[in-house]
């Protein structure tokens, strides 16, 4: 497994922020990841300009759409 995927595996259960190519940002607790960097976040919030705009219980983010991931 590559280093970025190992880092994601170690972050399971921790809070991360994900920026998508569409410029949307989501913050939540990483629940599951896979080899394609698909993510499931729990207690997920959509962020706009550093503030919460929407809250989701769980969110599925496709790895193809991810621009970067910030580990809190």
What's the pLDDT tens digit per position in 6-56?
A: 999 999 999 999 999 999 999 999 999 999 999 999 999 999 988 999 999
Burial of 24 per CB tally in 10 Å (0-12, 13-18, 19+): middle
Strand segments, DSSP code E, in 1-72 are 15-20, 25-33, 39-48, 51-61, 66-71
CATH code where residue 26 lies:
2.30.30.100
Q: Within its chain, how far is the Cα of 31 from the centroid?
A: 9
CA distances from 30 to 1, 19, 59, 68 (A): 18, 14, 10, 14
Question: What pTM did the predictor assign?
Answer: 0.90
The count of structural domains within the chain is 1
Q: Which domain holds residue 51?
A: 3-71
């Amino acid at each position: 497994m590559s280093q970025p995927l190992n880092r994601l595996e170690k972050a399971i259960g921790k809070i991360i922020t994900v920026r998508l190519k569409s410029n949307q940002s989501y913050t939540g607790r990483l629940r599951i990841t896979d080899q394609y960097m698909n993510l499931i976040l729990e207690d997920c919030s959509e962020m706009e300009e550093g503030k919460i705009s929407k809250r989701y219980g769980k969110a599925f983010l496709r790895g193809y759409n991810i621009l970067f991931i910030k580990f809190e």
